[in-house]
Structure 1
Amino acid sequence: MSTPNTRSWLQTLVAFDTTSRNSNLNLIEHVRDALMAQGVHVQLFKSPDGAKSNLFATLPAQDGSTQGGIVLSGHTDVVPVDGQQWDTNPFALTEREGKLYGRGTCDMKGFIAAGLALVPEFLAMPRSKPLHFALSYDEEVGCVGAPIMLAQLKLQGQHLDGCIVGEPTSMQPVVAHKGINVWRCRVHGKAAHSSLTPRGSNAIEYAARLICRIRDLADAFKANGPYDRFFDVPYTTMTTNQIRGGIAVNTLPELCEFAYEFRNLPGIAPEGIQQQVEAYVQQELLPRMRQEFADARIEFESLAGAPSFDAAEGEAISELVRALTGDRAQRKVAYATEAGLFQQAGVPTVVCGPGAISEAHKANEYVDIAQLEHCEHFLRKLGQSL
């Protein structure tokens, strides 16, 4: 069984409804107070509106040093439970048949709980390097919080030797993931009665042309690559996943908006992909629309994004995690994490945490107790290695 402290911490963390639309301050302040009570130095880096916060805590080395060392990174927000059919209260930890159920148990409060439970042990270890915790907000809506924390740490001159992002990987090292880029497009045409179509410009129909163009680009990536066989989906993907427009069946719509995303392989510049979308608009779509309505326009808005991540072979943190897990397989995944942000900040990073990503975001989300035990063992060995 996992330690009582890990179970207790997970129960506490799950009870905070930190769905991304909500504040995470109650959770962050609870963790802050618990760490400060043990003599740990804690910093909070709040969102611009003050409604949310990151937390950065440092367990110094035996000589008092706070520079270098390893950071354990986790996000505190979770996805909504709206419309999902849960068999238990999603914000109350429930054990059943070797599994712990609750929103965030897998993604990714289980990792955070295991780390916090081991703080007394970490403090007692004669470590020559510090150990840090980095807890962020709004990862699930585009990795919004972590950049603020990383920017502040850079201003402070903080140097980190490596980072472990504890996203659910079944405690297997993941050394690369795709980037994610989410965009909203608004197509502005001109309304008219549907019996007088030449007097209007149909925003839905032109949006449909652009959506088909996005699908054509996606098909080209699938057919022509580039490919990376170590990814579960070995090419860059593009999909349109939300759309709305129109007010009546007999009225040409003046507005249609839709959201699309693309997940780029490492080495594929997301700017280049978006440029292809916008070039089609400028060169083909808008000229046709403006023959019907001179003031037609198409707007793009970036909603969220996280950079791709690709750990260099032989990095010390990768070798350490491989040694501690005994796992040397090459694993790369399609989902995004904050690892790319740490890597951009110059911190060598690897992704490794308890739980299976297939259980994340679903009704009846859970983490296996055995996975938490594995995580505890891994983190304990990590502390000892320092």
Structure 2
Amino acid sequence: MIELFIGTCMGPNGWSSRSFVYTLQDGEIQYLRGYCNFSAGVGRTGTFIALDILYDQGTDKGSIDVFKCVDELRQRRVNMVQTKRYTTCLPVSIFLTLMSNSGTVSEKNSEDDIYTTAKKTDNKSKNRYDNILAPNEFRPFLLTQVPGCPDYINAVFIPGYLNKFGYILTQTALTSTAVDCCRLVYEQEVKIIVTFQEDGDDDVNILLTHTIPDYLDMSSYLFILIGIYLPEKGSVKLGPFGMTFVADENKRDYIRRGYQLTFQSEKRSVTQLMFKEWPPSSLTPSDPSKMLYFLEEVETLQRQNDDKPILAQCLKDAQRSGLIVVLMDILERLRFDKEVSISLVIRQLKIRRQQIIPNFWSKS
């Protein structure tokens, strides 16, 4: 019996073959002698063969040698893996494929090593929850000098499909980190901030609607304090930064607010998009169609702002904001590749922020 596999996700100018190779590996085609052909038989064909060889190499040895593999293929057929674009994509694709095959990338370092900066004494007050921290490798470093403020903020870079700095996840500002949010927005040239209505959140309601007993230490309620750096009217002054409310527009499913961020003599426009249709007590939005419409609006605005990183912000920094960036990544992949592995996307992003999609489960 002869089986034909047609790869639809590898075009001549842009490609995403890792899911195709992964499917073939699962289909046990590696035990068969196969015939592979894409057009000229050297570019995509060579890349596919190299991916298969490197996959086995990575599985067996735990490391890959891309240049040796390509060189050996070219000794048998000139121009195999024809362009630099294909060559540079090989290690990334192999890494993602091997990662998806093993569930998540294993952590070689202990948790203490990963979060050393977040756990420093000076930074502990900047974490809303002590179990949601920014790993050293993926956090932004704040460079703007503000007295008494280190370079740490509990935030992580989350890659988009085409932009490795496509999104930033961070917690709703604490009173002690509102100025840090301004530093982050300024330094990363953020033009769009996605937030959620949180006045119905149980954590916030404890502070807003209940009197805290005298016998309880107020510091134990640090995680529910809200710092204001996006005022609903007027302006706020935070260190060397000023944030001034300009105008708002109440849309069907969200509120759009415009702000002017000032630093020294420089002025920048910032837009806040606050999604309204997500009950704080629910893990998911009340109406998925409204969420998709909102994401379309966010994408449109992002394209109008030179694809600068989107700052997604919620109380727990992972659940609602995390779902937003997962969905946007999935939609981006669908738009370019016409297919997507949802579980693979979630696994990739959970490397940066483990609490993203907290009820996600996959076999190891």
Task: Tell me the TM-score normalized by structure 2.
Answer: 0.27
User: Between Structure 1 and Structure 2, which shows a larger proportion of strand residues?
Assistant: 1
Relative contact order higher in (CA < 8 Å, ≥ 6 apart): 1
TM-score (norm 1): 0.26
